[in-house]
């Protein structure tokens, strides 16, 4: 097995050469401005090593990767009561699909599709003004990454709000079933802002450390969630983290992962490392094209899989 430093450098060099980089998301106009040639990768190991390659220190819009972190926060607030309002099944549909909501009475299939994440935002809004809920989410992310320089990109949030007709449709629809407790406008304000958090691969991999280490920050020993909850979040990432591409990601990469339309993916190798990769071009399922290929190669080189003996 190669050293991790060498494996990361090799993968980054190979990805830099590739011309089949997928398509940058343009439905949020601000995301369409990103250079598709960017590629970064970071690994933070449970024994404290931080290994970087490519553009690993350049912040990008984490988009749906943030849904793992808001889910963690919401579970901390309401625990298993969350599952009365959101399911835990893969949707087999695109991330912004509305079709299942009618059959399933406004209860989204899982917390990672947009509808599910909007419910999670609604949970985080309870007892707060949107501004306070957004502040709480940002502070939680800064705490996880141990980095107070992490910010929300207000231009991305505004760009998404201005074009977010589908998300407004999803929120209004769930409101009609009584599953959304606040006004759609307010829950979406929280949702758009957590999707607009900007982080580098280094910061994202740092934030994911607790998931690779049974719920505890390996650097400080502080517990973020219980070991059981860390496992269950990992299970949701594996089964739902890549939307209708989740089965393929599990098949090819074999570790829990969560993607975002900004081109980022957080990957977790339980007991070993937290990984983050960024390549803005997306595949047909809206997941980072080279990001998934890079993780597949890295996992193979390092013999990482949750199914490995």
Say if residues 195 and 64 touch (Cβ distance below 8 Å). Answer: yes
Q: Pick the closest to residue 47 from 212, 166, 244, 243 (CA basis).
A: 212
Q: Tell me which of 191, 246, 277, 292 is the catalytic residue.
A: 191
In this chain, which of 46, 286, 291, 298 binds ligand DON, going by CB under 6 A?
Answer: 286
Catalytic residue among 24, 225, 261, 269: 261
What b/e readout covers 55-64, taking b as 16+ CB neighbours within 10 angstroms? bbebbbbbbb
Among positions 213, 259, 274, 292, the unique one binding ligand DON when judged by CB under 6 A? 259
Tokens 């629809």, residue? 173
Q: Please compute Rg for the chain using Cα positions.
A: 18
**CB of residue 38 vs ligand DON: minimum separation in angstroms?**
17
Residue among 167, 179, 279, 283 that touches ligand DON (CB under 6 A): 167
Asked if 12 contacts 39 with a C-beta cutoff of 8 angstroms, the reply is yes
Q: How many residues bind ligand DON (CB under 6 A)?
A: 13
SS3 187: helix
Is residue 63 part of the contact set for ligand DON (CB under 6 A)? yes
Min. distance of Cβ 193 from ligand DON in angstroms? 10
Give me 218's structure tokens: 């390996």
261 is catalytic: yes
Among 90, 256, 260, 291, binds ligand DON (CB under 6 A): 260
Give whole-number Cα distances, 216 to 70, 76, 271, in Å.
17, 14, 11
Q: Is 175 among the catalytic positions?
A: no
Min CB(3)–ligand DON separation in Å: 31
Six token digits for residue 228: 């059981």
Q: Which residue's CB is nearer to ligand DON, number 113 or number 230?
A: 113
- Whether the CA torsion 125, 130, 132, 133 is positive or negative: it is positive
Residues 84-123, one symbol each (x = binds ligand DON by CB under 6 A, - = not), give -----------xx-----------------x---------
Q: Which residue is nearest to ligand DON (CB)?
A: 64
DSSP code string of 57-104:
TS-EE-GGGHHHHHHHHHHHHHGGGGGGTS--S---S-TT--HHHHHT
Q: Is 176 a catalytic residue?
A: no
Site string for ligand DON, 123-162 (x = CB under 6 A): -------------------------------------x--
286: which 2 tokens? 């809206």
Structure tokens at 113: 């599709």
Choosing from 45, 46, 64, 72, the residue that interacts with ligand DON (CB under 6 A) is 64
Task: Supply the residues annotated as catalytic.
Answer: 64, 67, 191, 243, 261
Residues that bind ligand DON (CB under 6 A): 63-64, 95-96, 114, 160, 167, 195, 259-261, 286-287
């Amino acid at each position: 097995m190669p050293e991790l430093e060498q494996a990361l450098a090799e993968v980054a060099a190979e990805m830099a050469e590739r011309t089949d980089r997928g398509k940058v998301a343009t439905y949020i106009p601000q995301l369409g401005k990103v250079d598709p040639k960017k590629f970064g990768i970071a690994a933070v190991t449970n024994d404290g090593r931080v290994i970087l390659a490519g553009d690993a220190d350049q912040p990008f819009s984490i988009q749906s990767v943030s849904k793992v972190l808001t889910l963690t926060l919401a579970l901390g607030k309401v625990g298993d009561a969350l599952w009365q309002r959101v399911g835990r099944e893969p949707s087999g549909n695109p991330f912004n699909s509305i079709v299942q909501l009618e059959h399933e009475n406004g209860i989204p299939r899982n917390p990672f599709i947009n509808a599910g994440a909007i419910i999670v935002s609604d949970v985080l809004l309870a007892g707060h003004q949107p501004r306070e809920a957004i502040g709480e989410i940002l502070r939680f992310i800064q705490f996880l990454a141990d980095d107070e320089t992490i910010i929300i990109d207000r231009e991305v949030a505004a760009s998404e709000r201005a074009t977010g007709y589908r998300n407004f449709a999803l929120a209004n629809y769930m409101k009609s079933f009584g599953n959304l407790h606040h006004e759609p406008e307010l829950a979406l304000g929280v949702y758009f802002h957590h999707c607009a958090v900007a982080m580098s691969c280094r910061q994202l991999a740092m934030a994911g450390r607790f998931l690779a280490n049974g719920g505890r920050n390996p650097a400080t020993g502080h517990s973020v969630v219980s070991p059981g909850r860390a496992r269950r979040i990992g299970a949701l990432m594996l089964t739902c983290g890549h939307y209708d591409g989740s089965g393929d990601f599990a098949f090819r990469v074999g570790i829990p992962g969560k993607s975002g339309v900004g081109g980022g993916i957080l990957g977790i190798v339980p007991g070993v490392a937290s990984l983050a990769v960024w390549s803005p071009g997306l595949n047909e399922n809206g997941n980072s094209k080279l990001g998934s290929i890079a993780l597949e190669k890295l996992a193979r080189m390092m013999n990482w899989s949750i199914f490995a003996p």
